[in-house]
Amino acid sequence: MDWRQTLTNGRDAATAGAVPRQPGSPAGARRLPHWTAARRWTARCALPAALALWLLSLRPVHLGGMRDYGLLQVLPVLFWVALGLLTLGFCLALADRRTAGGWFAGYVLGLVAVIHATPTLLYPELRYSWAWKHVAVVDAVIRHHGHVPRAGQLALYDQWPGFFDLNAFFLQATGLHSALGYATWTPPVFNAVLLAPLLLLYRTVTRDRRLLWGAAWVFYSCSWVGQDYFAPQAFAFLLFVTAIALVMGQLPTSVLYGPAGPPGRWPVGRFVLVMVVSAVIITSHPLTPLMLISALVVLSLPRRNRRVVVPVLAGTAAMTVLWDATVARPYLSENLGDFLGSLLKPDANVSSGLAALGTAAPGQVVVSWVDRGLSAAVFVLAATAFLAHPWVRRTGLPLLVVAPLPILTANAYGGEMIFRAYLFALPAASFLIAALLFQRENRPRFHPAVVYPLLLALLGGLVFGYYGKESANYFTKDEVAAGRFVAATSPPGSTIVSVTSAVPALYTRYDEKTELQLDEQDLADRRRLAKDPVRGLEGFVQHATPRQPAYIILSRAQEADVYQRGVLPDGTIERMDRALSEAPGYVPVYRNKDAVVYRYEGTQGGAGS
């Protein structure tokens, strides 16, 4: 029997709402045992109860108590009770073949809300410094009606502008003033929207609702990387999953195959849609097209898939080469040497994101090891499913799990490639894990008591990775006020100096000023700064004048960032504040509880303001 028929005739009975007949009882006299009815009502009550407890738990949170473990240190017990109850209810819902799809959707979206809306509801300002940077880029695109001149280190975004142009068009069409208003809600909204292409991908290999929704739950339970904020990579990843789902739906092994046409042939409309999605990815992000090409290459390895995959692969590769040879050529030409050098050091690329933990905060070392453990567990469970269930080997999902590996060894991507490879492998790996945990093949029934602890363990790993760095990702109103003060008062040509990137509004009107981050400088410069902050700053502010002064901004989030990552000795921010307050020429022009701004006008400017 074909593996798709096995799924449809066996496990897919849940889709039709079938109820197994009790032995010896007529069809009209089937009755559920009392414990089954109780389990069903528990599953239905657990969802609203868990969401209510979650909302109540957010009231007494003291964000100022975050340190090594971020939000993990300040979330109350009630939050964790709500998360455990939500997971229990989902397990009970999976165990009941009569559970309607709406309840599954409610549970998965509830998990998205609890995990990803919690920071949004708790924080008074936009979370994560890179999100602030991307808001500034959208603003610059609107001011310059497209290409941003004098973009400096952010010129990269001019060469992959799709995400920013789309947001600029949206703002102008709606009359909104800034992307800042909706960027705050990007993580929960992005993850909720991502559910649609995930389900579309999973439906190409099964119609069993237990596997579909179980795979979605596993994905959200293991997606700790945090690439879901207001950023081009989040947008491109959403489109990547969509493109792969559309391609998988056309493969000869797809269970969705039906009226679309003969096996291995593309309907014109669907092929054009895939090409449009690929084009938007190519114009929005430099890495995601390579991940898409790698995925298409591995999907084309089985002979039966080539008629479907090769046309998409050829079109995507051609558009990528064309874009890189024209619009993106300045960036690629400037960094070609680094790219070629990375190809010769695949071992360094793989380990770059895991090194340099010796001076990190003790809690961050624990967080990093938990992240590694969760990532390893995902691949081990996926490999176990590959061995335990022969039918998954005949799908393209195992190929998608290994597809990011060639890109992983090609470039370090600023030390983040290993995390990106995990993220792109996760959608397929999550389904394999769901097949291992929730498929009833060779087992009498699905046991919630066995799966529940494992799902809790996966969520435990997720919250370490997703919440563990929040003391540096979270900004107070005072920090935002300091950043906006610098943006509003610094004249064009000024130099804005920060210790790390953990500063909100730092890149406002970045095309008119020069931004410097001290943690990105050479090791010798950082050592000089740690030894003597005033002398360490000299090389970065030496060209300051009264007309084009230098501003040094120090803040709470930067102090937390320095402590967490260990790029400079703990307490560097405080020592810099003391040293600059006594140094000639450095004038404190703004100070509040969480931030201070110094202005330096050079030796001829004196100490006057």
H or E segment and range at residue 497: strand 495-498
Give the pLDDT score at 563.
Answer: 92
Type of residue numbered 141: V
Of 127, 134, 171, residue with least CA distance to 284 = 134
User: What separation in angstroms does the CA of 511 have from each of 149, 163, 221, 515, 598?
Assistant: 7, 19, 40, 10, 21
Answer whether 363's CB lies under 8 Å from 67's CB. yes
Per-residue buried b or exposed e for 556-589, using 16+ beta carbons within 10 Å of the residue's own CB = bbbbbbbbbbbbbeeebbebbbebbeebebbbeb
Give the pLDDT score at 351.
Answer: 43
Q: Give the separation between CA 398 and CA 449, rounded to whole angstroms.
A: 28
- Residue 46: is its pLDDT beyond 70? yes
Give the pLDDT score at 266.
Answer: 86
Tokens matching residue 520: 């990105």
pLDDT tens digits, one per residue of 423-475: 999 999 999 999 999 876 555 456 777 899 999 999 999 999 999 999 999 99
- Residue 24: is its pLDDT beyond 80? no
Residue with the bigger pLDDT between 263 and 583: it is 583
CB atoms within 10 A of CB 453: 11
Residue with the bigger pLDDT between 345 and 91: it is 91
CB atoms within 10 A of CB 146: 11
pTM to 2 decimal places? 0.88
Give the pLDDT score at 360.
Answer: 79
User: In whole numbers, what is the pLDDT of the chain averaged over residues?
Assistant: 86
- Residue 349: is its pLDDT beyond 60? no
Residues ≥6 apart with Cβ < 8 Å to 35: none
Give the pLDDT score at 20.
Answer: 40
Answer whether 545's CB lies under 8 Å from 497's CB. no
Give the pLDDT score at 444.
Answer: 45
Q: Give the separation between CA 568 and CA 561, rounded to whole angstroms.
A: 10
Q: What is the largest CA-CA distance in the chain?
A: 99
pLDDT tens digits, one per residue of 380-408: 999 999 999 989 988 999 999 999 988 87
Give the pLDDT score at 232.
Answer: 96
Given the structure tokens 């600029």, which residue do they identify? 168
User: What separation in angstroms does the CA of 203 have from each of 102, 208, 262, 428, 546?
Assistant: 16, 8, 19, 12, 64
- Helical residues (DSSP H) of 96-128, grouped into ranges: 101-112, 118-122
Q: What angle do CA 119, 121, 124 make, to 5 degrees?
A: 85
Q: Give the separation between CA 463 and CA 70, rounded to whole angstroms.
A: 10
- Residue 35: is its pLDDT beyond 90? no
pLDDT band at 523 (very low <50, low <70, confident <90, very high): confident
User: What separation in angstroms does the CA of 230 have from each of 130, 318, 591?
Assistant: 8, 28, 29
pLDDT band at 350 (very low <50, low <70, confident <90, very high): very low
DSSP-derived pairing of the beta strands 550-555 and 495-498: parallel
Give the pLDDT score at 413.
Answer: 53
pLDDT band at 11 (very low <50, low <70, confident <90, very high): very low
Tokens matching residue 402: 């290994």
- Residue 5: is its pLDDT beyond 50? no
Given the structure tokens 């949170």, which residue do they identify? 61
> How large is the average pLDDT for residues 106-120?
97
Q: Give the separation between CA 300 and CA 157, rounded to whole angstroms.
A: 32
Give the pLDDT score at 577.
Answer: 95
Answer whether 44's CB lies under 8 Å from 22's CB. no
Q: 191-195, 313-317, 325-329, 441-445: which has the minimum mean pLDDT? A: 441-445
What pairs with residue 305 in β-bridges? none
Q: Give the separation between CA 201 and CA 434, rounded to whole angstroms.
A: 14
pLDDT band at 337 (very low <50, low <70, confident <90, very high): low
Domains of the chain plus CATH, in order, are 35-127+184-471 (no CATH), 475-600 (3.40.50)
Task: Compute, in degrees rounded to 10, the torsion defined by CA atoms 519, 525, 526, 529.
Answer: -110
Of 481, 482, 601, residue with least CA distance to 542 = 601
